[in-house]
Structure 1
Amino acid sequence: MATSTMTVAAFLAKVLLLSLCFVISRSERVKEKIYDKIQSDMACFKRFNGTHEIGCTSKFNGNIGVIHVINNRSDLDWVLDKGPHHPYMLALTPEFLTVSNLRDAQDSGKVSGVVVLVHEGFDPEKMLTSGFSGDYPCPNEEYGLYNHSSDTEYTNYCQKNPWNPPGSALLFSNWEFPIFLIDNQTSVSNIITCYEEFNAPKDGEPRSWPLCALELKSHMFGTTNTEVCMRRATLPSLFSTVNFCDPLYDFNIWGTVKPMNASEDLADQSVIIVAARMDAASMYDNISPGVASAVAGLVTLMSTAEAINRHKEEIMAAESNKNIMFILYQGETWDYIGSSRMVWDMEKGEFPFQKQEDISDQMSQINFTHIDYFIEISQVGKMEEKRLYLHTDPVSNSDPVINSQTGILVTAFNMSVSNSSSGIIFEKAPEEAPLPPASFQSFLKHVNISGLVIADHKGSFKNKFYQTVFDDHRNIKGEVLADVASVLATTLYTMVVGREYKEIIADKNFTEVLLDCYSKNASCSMFKDFGGYLLKNEMNDGKPAKMYVNVKRGETGRTYVTSNIFARVMGEEVDLNETECKSNSFYQVYQYFYLPRVSNGTCYRTTARKTEAMSPAFMIEDYDWQSGMYSTWAESGWQAIDAMLFLRPSVVEEVALVCGGVVSIVTSFALVYFMNSRSDLLFGLPTPPAAC
């Protein structure tokens, strides 16, 4: 009979187990009824350098707070001084996202998070008339040519004459709560509606429970600074999936018009470097358009290279020792990662790589002695009256030889302009002013080179939204970028070929399509043809390309698509099928790219290639992280980012519900125990005989 008793107990246990499974299976449906998921793909995250951390994080299980919409400063004051239902989640529009407002919210201890609501039709030019920049007033100053230890008369120039007057350093600040950007209009509407129905104060008085609340989850695993974070990343972890942090990492993309073979005598050859940056930043993941700050220069460089490549045979046939190198730098936002890595490699005699003994047709080494001129295309998308400015470095130009060479370069531009049909005007910036933030500074810190920086501004930036989400397609006048490329291509052709003037015309259609793909719609046909399947999110929703630099294990789609387009721009079609179209070695002069969607499959032979853009700080053994010599930026790891909207009961109700649940569980187990112990009476089972 003991068996019968055990059978009853097992039966009851199964009933409880099935009930539990039923509850679990229904929990997701219940959760869907309680919680309303809102947009969560653009959260602020943590980054680190050698001295400190910046960005945002939530608690491990997320932050919860009652929503309060901020329409003016008095709404924020109400939360800080009067609001009784803290912690609060602030829902504010971009004009109220200021360092002072966030500092007040953080110092109060009454705010657990912020959501920035971007309403449809929001016009930053009208709402943010004085500008809004997340960078410093003097971007990259401490890693540039005129930093505090430079000992020149231009050391404090930017402090008195800031290049970026709207700079708030919001991007480089540390926040103790999560900040999410929301531009999905359904999510924006749901938050506003829920607030107005349940939370909006009546005659200045707070509403009673239940109240509309938000849960934001964006826990970052990294902490403190890059040195600490990288050290923790090397330690064994109880949770193998935890990634504490990664160095910022990507690839510079470059190529030369003429091939440079190591087997040839290159002692007397010189190179004109034409450079632009291809990265930008914002506070948030998945959105960093950088149209005026980076895309305009990138597109102008690619258009220039495309125009020059159409005249490659003439350039190759000319009896000239000059060559042209086009290069797109990555990571320049974060203290010149790409350009400083190129300089470091050149100093070691390892650019683009260490010399290989067993490859006959390898790419030649390139060093400082090969550089004739350095031309950088900076911010060129907001020019007025088709006017651009040529900025030069007064420190290096104090050398008469360098100054003379710079004069030759400026004269070449003026000659191209005077004979051009483009209408572009180049004006020399004041010689007493130093260079604006530019990759060129990374080279000038180590060697005097003649060169200039082309920009749409004479003094401070015309770009009022530098390093923010609002540096988008609305922040650019892109219709004349092909004209700029035409003048630049003409200047380069004249300097390399050495013949009398010949106007080179850039392809306006190519320029416009390229600009549209980067600034508006990364799902464009050109990106699809050149590897758009790698772009993932951008290809699915038609958003602009993300111009953020990346980490080693991050999304590399934009870099690879750009590399493929650049290979076509710098290369030539060859009659090879997909199997034959391949390079035997990265070290060879020519690289081969097969693009299956271009004309049903096209093979390109090109000098274009990628080289690492990772700061030397992460490659130098026992590097002094606080030395300020090289960029030390790293990005925190995270596992899940989520945001949910729900109605929250009062604390008393929450405690009552928890206590009720505990009582229910205890009662259930007590009932099962009682039924099991009295099963013979409850179920009519005879008492088992006593053991003999």
Structure 2
Amino acid sequence: MLALPALLLLTSCCVFATYGEGLSEDIYITIPVAEGVAGYRLFNGTHQFGFHSSRADSRGVVVKLGRGEKAGLRDCWRSRFRNYLGKYHVLLSADMIDRSVVQEILNSDCIAGLIIVDPESAIEPTEPLSHDGMCPNQYSDVYGESCSTSNAWNDPGYVLSDGLRNVDWKMQVLYMYNKTHVEAINKCYNLYNVPTGGESAVDFPFCAASFGVFSTAAGSTEICYRRSKPWSRLFDLSIENRDDLCSPLVGVNVLAYLPPKVYNEAAPAHTARYLMLSARMDSFGLIPEISPGEISVLTSVIALLAASHAIGQNSDIFEKAANASNRYVISAFFDGESFDYIGSSDAAFDLMNGEFPRKLSGKIKTQLDPIVASQLEAIIEVQQLGSGDGAQLTAHADGRQFKSGKLDDLLRSLSAGASVEGGSLKPPTGNARMPPASWHSFYRIEPSIRGIVLAPFGEKYNYRRINSMLDFAQWNSSQRSAAESEVAIASSALLRAAADHVRLDDGQKLAIRIDREFIKKLFECFVYSSDWFSCEYLSRINEGRLKKSSAFYTGKSTYVSAGYRNPLRFFLEWLAIYATGSTSYTSNVKDKNTCDDLGGNQNVYIYSWQADPDTGAHYCYRSSVDVYQVNSPAFRIPNYDFTNHTYSTWSESLYSIDSLRLYLVEQESFERVMLVFGMLFALISFLFVGRCTENSFIIDEGERLAKEGEPL
């Protein structure tokens, strides 16, 4: 009869010991996974790429892959984990994903996922670690040739010829940058998965992990869009009543009109001539958001900002010359260029349709003059600055345009500007080809548009980590100085081209110089700082408008994405306003509300209340900076053929994220023994309970009343 009370007591102890909660917290160590640090599916018009697996395949024993340790990768570590036949999560540093290892990873059928950590030492500059392919944007240039070694700009740097992005990885991937979390994984691995005492194998239990990003879409952008139609979802119960399974990549172009031309209905249309100065503002990595872009993007952005700043500091003389000559300059920061020129193709599409920079509206009194493609004379782009010797730049161009003499005036201007800062310019040749650049988007709609790319590379990229998770500038002091000089040379070349375009006189051109201190401040924030939120210069201009979030990756990221959360685009907009804006027209404005109320019934200028990043003092800036949300024309053209390579067709799958969990995995035989033991225990308990009679549960009523003081 004592069996039942004993059993009840044991059950009570278990319940109270766990406070009535589940035991998962005692079994798992959970590490949260923020959005942006794990891979997911990407699509173009015909294929799927990126990372995905089933939940069953997202679990595996943790192993570490060191340099030169391919044997375990080839035999699935079976010699170490002899009685384990499952999959593995491979912990490795980002620089380990190189030409010698990546094919082994792709060929393996026992990898559940990759857990990528930062390299422990400096990266060898000659190591090819670009996550882009041999021929970046190969289907979007105007030459229409297949990729070969003769036109492979990224030949020295690629890891895979098609690029790590353009692979359908049948596994998960996670970037771990939190040192505490990395230490927890290492401790678990070292404690359970490393042989000791001279042994070559380990016994159960093993340290294992599970995590995953689970995508809703599959196939291609075309398939995803077709499946997203309401009629195709009638019998699909697997996804929670969503009509969208994927989203097109969406960027933000930042354009500054230096100066703007105001539309005059009475004047002849489309007579002004324009020069566009450009830089791209996006890149990607194996995990798209992990894309610091310090050489791929940021140094070029700094150069264009510095040139725009010099024009803005002398806006009165530029405006006077531009209005007199009817020649204007546009500074353009294009987003989505590493994904088949999303930003520039969007602008070119509007230009082709007479809707650039804005479609004329009868409801607005003062508006920007519309521009058509034939008005754009040339586009000059800067690329990969900081990867050369700090003294010479190469002018890349289409050989046909160069041989015709159409580029002579531009090349003279650029060379003169470079020499002001102590640099030189190497001209193109008659058989030259334009490297991957925004010019391809504009040339496609108007072959008269000339193009030049200023860059430190020659026939091939010098830099080996273009579009990569490892695109960090690891410079010593002399290399820093050379990089800053290279940016100043490129910026000065852009400035002189702009000055010659609007027809400044010789004295004015000589008087206008690039501000090297401004360049240094931008380097300190964009390149030398560990992130863009900790730099004081950017913090002043930010003023808490953009905050870090634990839900998203907040390290340096230049990925275009399907959302509007890349911090670079915000900092770039505010810096462009500061660099090109004026406070002389708004000197009497003393508060934000008054500033925000200015500028009604017009779209030529914007009025922004923001801090001077040098002093922190607030001003109302009047600028001609405009921001455009852009996506590929492929998603704007009805019934577009997604197999067509004219426009970008990239999209992202929607997905859900499971946090990383560390746990111990036991041998299946042990689990079977425990299952049998549990069933036997339950059976014995049932037999004991079954032997109880009604008297086992009768309470002596008299005894209870006696204790309460009642007479028996």
What range describes the TM-score normalised by the shorter chain of this pair? 0.7 to 0.9
TM-aligned CA distance change 1:546 to 1:245, over 3 Å: same
- Mapping of residues 205-220 of structure 1, within 5 Å: 205-220=200-215
Residue 124 of structure 1: SS of its match in structure 2? coil
- State the distance in 1 between where 2:671 and 2:243 align: 32
Contact 1:490 1:502 in 2 (8 A): no
**Correspondence for 1:487 among 486, 493, 507:** 493
2:270 matched to which residue of 1? 267
TM-aligned CA distance change 1:668 to 1:135, over 3 Å: farther
1:566 matched to which residue of 2? 576
Contact 1:412 1:495 in 2 (8 A): no
Shift of the alpha carbon at 1:20?
Answer: 7.0
- State the distance in 1 between where 2:670 and 2:572 align: 56
CA deviation profile, 1:518-548 (whole Å, cap 9, x unmatched): 2333112232233363544389999653111
1:94 and 2:100 are equivalent in the alignment = no
1:545 matched to which residue of 2? 556
Shift of the alpha carbon at 1:296?
Answer: 0.9
- State the distance in 2 between where 1:588 and 1:496 align: 23
TM-aligned CA distance change 1:397 to 1:157, over 3 Å: farther
Partner amino acid, structure 2, of 1:511? I
- Mapping of residues 109-124 of structure 1, within 5 Å: 109-120=109-120, 122-124=121-123
Residue 549 of structure 1: SS of its match in structure 2? coil
1:347 matched to which residue of 2? 352
Shift of the alpha carbon at 1:384?
Answer: 0.8
Contact 1:538 1:544 in 2 (8 A): no
TM-aligned CA distance change 1:314 to 1:538, over 3 Å: farther
TM-aligned CA distance change 1:166 to 1:17, over 3 Å: same
Identity within the alignment, %: 23
TM-aligned CA distance change 1:461 to 1:20, over 3 Å: same
Contact 2:157 2:463 in 1 (8 A): no
- Mapping of residues 46-445 of structure 1, within 5 Å: 46-60=41-55, 63-71=58-66, 72-79=69-76, 82=79, 84=82, 85=84, 86-98=86-98, 101-120=101-120, 122-125=121-124, 129-148=126-145, 159=150, 161-167=152-158, 168=160, 169-201=163-195, 205-235=200-230, 239-240=240-241, 244-263=245-264, 265=267, 267-284=270-287, 286-318=289-321, 319-397=324-402, 400=404, 403-404=405-406, 406-418=407-419, 420=420, 422-445=421-444
Residue 376 of structure 1: SS of its match in structure 2? strand
TM-aligned CA distance change 1:373 to 1:160, over 3 Å: closer
- State the distance in 2 between where 1:53 and 1:517 align: 36
Residue 581 of structure 1: SS of its match in structure 2? helix
CA deviation profile, 1:619-675 (whole Å, cap 9, x unmatched): 111111111121010112222242222222112223444555566678878988997
1:3 matched to which residue of 2? none
Shift of the alpha carbon at 1:407?
Answer: 0.5
2:595 matched to which residue of 1? 581
Residue 620 of structure 1: SS of its match in structure 2? coil
Contact 2:293 2:471 in 1 (8 A): yes
Partner amino acid, structure 1, of 2:595? C
Contact 2:74 2:104 in 1 (8 A): no
1:644 and 2:661 are equivalent in the alignment = yes
CA deviation profile, 1:345-399 (whole Å, cap 9, x unmatched): 111111123221121201121121221221111222212141111111123445x
Shift of the alpha carbon at 1:162?
Answer: 3.7
2:456 matched to which residue of 1? 456
1:618 and 2:635 are equivalent in the alignment = yes
- State the distance in 2 between where 1:215 and 1:231 align: 32
TM-aligned CA distance change 1:671 to 1:427, over 3 Å: farther
Normalised TM-score (structure 2): 0.84
- State the distance in 2 between where 1:670 and 1:522 align: 68
Shift of the alpha carbon at 1:104?
Answer: 3.6
Partner amino acid, structure 1, of 2:194? A
Residue 206 of structure 1: SS of its match in structure 2? coil
Shift of the alpha carbon at 1:297?
Answer: 0.7
Residue 143 of structure 1: SS of its match in structure 2? coil
TM-aligned CA distance change 1:665 to 1:75, over 3 Å: same
Contact 2:275 2:501 in 1 (8 A): no
Comparing 104-113 with 266-275, greater Cα deviation is found at 104-113
Give ranges in structure 1 of 5+ residues lacking alignment: 1-11, 149-154, 687-692
Contact 2:44 2:220 in 1 (8 A): yes
1:31 matched to which residue of 2? 24
Partner amino acid, structure 2, of 1:526? Y
Contact 2:253 2:627 in 1 (8 A): yes
TM-aligned CA distance change 1:345 to 1:184, over 3 Å: same
Shift of the alpha carbon at 1:587?
Answer: 5.8
Give ranges in structure 2 of 5+ residues lacking alignment: 1-6, 702-712
Comparing 536-545 with 357-366, greater Cα deviation is found at 536-545
Shift of the alpha carbon at 1:412?
Answer: 1.5
1:506 and 2:500 are equivalent in the alignment = no
Contact 1:429 1:458 in 2 (8 A): no
Contact 1:62 1:217 in 2 (8 A): no
Shift of the alpha carbon at 1:293?
Answer: 0.8
Contact 1:242 1:637 in 2 (8 A): no
Shift of the alpha carbon at 1:106?
Answer: 4.7
Shift of the alpha carbon at 1:417?
Answer: 3.7
Shift of the alpha carbon at 1:164?
Answer: 3.7
Contact 1:113 1:178 in 2 (8 A): yes
Residue 50 of structure 1: SS of its match in structure 2? coil
- State the distance in 1 between where 2:291 and 2:223 align: 27
Partner amino acid, structure 2, of 1:134? H
- State the distance in 2 between where 1:40 and 1:541 align: 9
- State the distance in 1 between where 2:340 and 2:519 align: 29
